[in-house]
Structure 1
């Protein structure tokens, strides 16, 4: 109850603070550049000045937050990547040379590459198929709501749920893990799924696919509904089958949206951390870059230099995809 009251108090203070800020800043702007009671030229000049400044008053909190929590950390991380464990001794490119020869880093890169190959493709595919199917049934909105529900769960919460799915107990004892319960029911041998080499990475990916399919479904469903009916009717008249209409008529018309969904999930995959930390903590060859960065930065005494170096690699990998995504979204908006 105390935590709930504290959360409620924090939300009230935050909303009230925002309201006070905007009211006070607008009042101050109108006081500095008054338009009422002034002559025509002076009133017009002050109104023009206040209209130029007013948008920045609304943007100022967001810009301040971005500077403090994004711009400054990037600059500080870049600086630390050229320094040693304590962040004081300058080592030049030493951390980058270590990274190139470190086996755990290479394993993390390989695992991230696997995530990039499987998760965006599977999530986009399932989201597209579900979006197309649910639009054809009367209870489609209910199905969409159920599929979208995992989006409301945190990654750690979802990992806890899936721990019960993959849970392993020795053979001969009752299996509480759903997967092993099914296997033993059909006469199979229970497995410690998240310790199996290579496949444990796939089992972890399933969690993120389960969470993000709802996001892909919602975006792609909106895009499918935006397809002109005339093109589909023309294809039906020409004798096209359902699959031909879907893959040759509908998909090409929403390809830009598919690309945006794909790249958005790709950025998320490059930063995946919570699932690996909660499920395996990087053991059994499941380490990924973000979890490796966390280990070097905050565990075992902490090595700020190496942790910051891995953080810079993640940022370098994310930036090109993010820029492409933003440009593609801007082009799509201009086309509308």
Structure 2
């Protein structure tokens, strides 16, 4: 443990120190190449203008390089591999895509993903909005928000392990250590192996992501609600509107853009969901999703680079239009077009 802590501290020091040294050194070099001090007239103005043009690139240049190396290139390589066989060497055209849409497990994964898309974004947004409204009305609302937001700080794998203990099943006659089965048994019911129940196990897995992401939705929507002018609410109260009418007819329409952004952000996350399924069921019992299927084909069963890359491309194509719309909507909300 001590070695890992020491290693982490060294990485932080080297990483932060390296960034500070880079930007300090880059600015020094820029000042030496285009000096503005000790230079008079048009030359000084011209050097300042050049510094202003170059300096932003000193900050975004490394980020752009990392983006190209670790994002743009992998996308191009993945598309390339999707047109090749399992070894990634022989061109096979669209045969991998034909296989995908003709494969039963792939179609089942799409249906499961669609089920996640229907339930998780709607549930997270709904619960986040309701909690944001309610917690603004109580004195201990900040504490409640902190507790609800806390699961977002937990990794998906960590959250899955927690929920595994909740869904834990022991054979009949044994003490049920799973919270859910213990409650069922206390009420006179029969314990169940919940995550192995076809169709319904998808909902048990969705609960984990809803538990994590509701805090995110709550924070964003709470900020949006506070941006609603008080005069609008007061006028509605004076006109005799009920709290329910104020909520649905005044609050919700004014933050609809933010609701849409939260919804689509969680939708993108759902399309890429992987960790929860891998940790809880590994795609067994008809709980497979596209990202986990991609992992199976790419790194298991001998490693089929062509089919794994094909599934990755399909996920990317599904995410891309939602992401573009989300960015445009976010820009519109902040006033940038």
**Common fold by TM > 0.5:** yes
Q: Give the match's secondary structure for 1:65.
A: helix
Query: What's the counterpart of residue 129 of structure 1?
Result: 130
**Which string of whole-angstrom CA distances, capped at 9 and with x for unpartnered residues, describes residues 220-279 of structure 1?**
001111100011011101111110100111010000000000000000000000000000
Query: What's the counterpart of residue 247 of structure 1?
Result: 248
Alignment of structure 1 residues 52-131 onto 2, 5 Å: 52-131=53-132
Query: What's the counterpart of residue 184 of structure 2?
Result: 183
Counterpart-to-counterpart distance in 1, 2:124 and 2:140:
22
Query: What's the counterpart of residue 28 of structure 2?
Result: 27
Query: What's the counterpart of residue 272 of structure 1?
Result: 273
Structure 1 unaligned residues grouped into runs of 5+? none
Query: What's the counterpart of residue 44 of structure 2?
Result: 43
Q: TM-score, normalised by structure 1?
A: 0.99
Query: What's the counterpart of residue 324 of structure 1?
Result: 325
Counterpart-to-counterpart distance in 2, 1:283 and 1:12:
43
Query: What's the counterpart of residue 194 of structure 1?
Result: 195
Counterpart-to-counterpart distance in 1, 2:116 and 2:9:
38
Q: Report how far residue 46 of structure 1 moved.
A: 0.8
**Which string of whole-angstrom CA distances, capped at 9 and with x for unpartnered residues, describes residues 299-324 of structure 1?**
12101100000000000000000000
Alignment of structure 1 residues 196-275 onto 2, 5 Å: 196-275=197-276
Q: Report how far residue 29 of structure 1 moved.
A: 1.0
Q: Number of residue pairs matched? A: 336
Counterpart-to-counterpart distance in 1, 2:102 and 2:322:
26
Tell me how large the CA RMSD over aligned residues is. 1.0
Query: What's the counterpart of residue 159 of structure 2?
Result: 158
Counterpart-to-counterpart distance in 2, 1:91 and 1:202:
38
Q: Report how far residue 332 of structure 1 moved.
A: 1.2
**Which string of whole-angstrom CA distances, capped at 9 and with x for unpartnered residues, describes residues 30-50 of structure 1?**
111111111210110111011
Say yes or no: does 1:144 pair with 2:145.
yes
Counterpart-to-counterpart distance in 1, 2:223 and 2:335:
18
Q: TM-score, normalised by structure 2?
A: 0.99
Q: Report how far residue 108 of structure 1 moved.
A: 0.6
Counterpart-to-counterpart distance in 2, 1:205 and 1:95:
30
Counterpart-to-counterpart distance in 2, 1:46 and 1:255:
48
Counterpart-to-counterpart distance in 1, 2:222 and 2:80:
44
Counterpart-to-counterpart distance in 2, 1:324 and 1:40:
49
**Which string of whole-angstrom CA distances, capped at 9 and with x for unpartnered residues, describes residues 68-127 of structure 1?**
111000000000000001100111111011111101100110000001000000000000
Counterpart-to-counterpart distance in 2, 1:266 and 1:295:
23
